[in-house]
Amino acid sequence: MRNRISFIIALIAATLLLGCGSGESADNSLGTAEPVSAPVAIPVIKVESVPQEEPASSLIQEPEVTQESEEEAAEEPDQKYPPGYSEDVEFDPSWEYADYTVINSGSAKLYRASDNRNDVIIGVNAGHGTKGGESKKTYCHPDKTPKVTGGTTQAGAVKAPAVSGGMRFADGTTEAAVTLRMAELLRDELLADGFDVLLVRDEADEQFDNIARTVICNNVADCMISLHWDGDGLTYDKGCFYVSVPDPIKDMEPVATYWQQHDRLGQALIDGLAQSGYKINGNGHMAIDLTQMSYSTVPSVDIELGNAASPHDDATLAGMASAMVPGIREVFGLGGR
Ligand SMILES: [Zn+2]
């Protein structure tokens, strides 16, 4: 940005000089008035985005153009993040619903795109993978009302395991291992497409319960996509679907405000998977009362990418990751690429 400022300043200076010399410039109506000094132009030019981490003060303290600041500008690194850039994100106990969490000592990782940046942060949650998560419980709903559908925890329960263990694929691989691999592949696809990615879980054991994961996405990301494979006990691949919000909790906040955005994101992902030829289960969604959506204040979806009988090799996972990106672009109004 500062290079551009210097360029524009130089351009203004050159214009003024030329104008005075030739006598043809319209600005010459100023006659012999003192030429406008270059720094005056700065406040107009400096309104441009900068990396989000940059302290606000550095935006405001645009000094007069001196030799020193020119040198600083030359030393300033490019605005883009270097490839592979990431930063740790810790849980903030002051966040809304933070009090409902019981496991929150983990550390999420925020990856920044280096090129084609669109300044949208996608929260990607690799389902399961929290040691001790099944022995602790959290409230299913922020208003502490009981669950309205079955699932890992039956309807009528007020509390559910903080993080369930997940299922095991037919070949013995754990769901938690596959969701983590899928999260990494989806991250790579999204980064290449210009999205920033918040990996809520980036290791085998992440000490965040389901509410903590949701709260982190609420506060750091622009949406939340949780990756799962269904533990339905079937021996055939039943295909992908997203978990929609059951009708009885659609008037409970924050569900009431966000459920349509959850559905829109879920449908966009399913549409992309269908268009790329992946098997879709039924109409592509199933209403289940999940903790995640009960606490989400950003577009949020749990996508089930198949079940224990589904292929889960890297090529399949990478293909599904790629298939979901166009829908995410559409949800954020970014158009096709
Ligand atoms: Zn799962």
Contact 210, 296 (CB under 8 A): no
pLDDT at 296 over 80: yes
Q: How does the average pLDDT of the chain come out, rounded?
A: 84
What is the reported pLDDT for 44? 37
In this structure, are 238 and 120 located in the same domain?
yes
Are 316 and 173 part of one and the same domain? yes
Position 152 confidence tier, pLDDT thresholds 50, 70, 90:
confident
pTM of the model: 0.77
90 with 71, same domain: the answer is: no
* CA proximity to 127, closest of 165, 155, 90, 96: 165
Within a domain: residue 119? yes
pLDDT of residue 45: 35
Instruction: Please state the rounded mean pLDDT for residues 172-199.
Output: 98
Q: How far is the CA of 128 from the centre of ligand 1 (A)?
A: 6
CA of 281 to the centre of ligand 1 (A): 16
* pLDDT (tens digit per residue) in 244-293: 999 999 999 999 999 999 999 999 999 999 999 999 999 999 999 999 99
What confidence tier does 332 reach under pLDDT thresholds 50, 70, 90? very high
Shared domain for 37 and 144, answered yes or no, is no
Of 48, 75, 102, at which residue does a domain stop? 75
CA 144 to ligand 1 center in whole angstroms: 23
> What's the CA-to-centroid distance between 177 and ligand 1, angstroms?
11
What's the total number of domains in the chain? 2
Of 90, 121, 115, 117, nearest to 187 by C-alpha is 121
Report CA(127)–ligand 1 centroid distance (Å): 5
Q: What range defines the domain where residue 17 resides?
A: 2-75
- Residues 171, 326: Cα–Cα separation, whole Å: 31
> H or E stretch including 254?
none
Rounded distance from Cα 197 to ligand 1 centre (Å): 21
**Is residue 65 located within the same domain as residue 197?**
no
pLDDT for res 153: 83
What residues are neighbours of ligand 1 (ion), with CB under 5 Å?
127, 166, 228
CA of 14 to the centre of ligand 1 (A): 64
Distance 76 CA to ligand 1 centre (A): 45
User: Separation of 131 CA from ligand 1 center, angstroms?
Assistant: 15
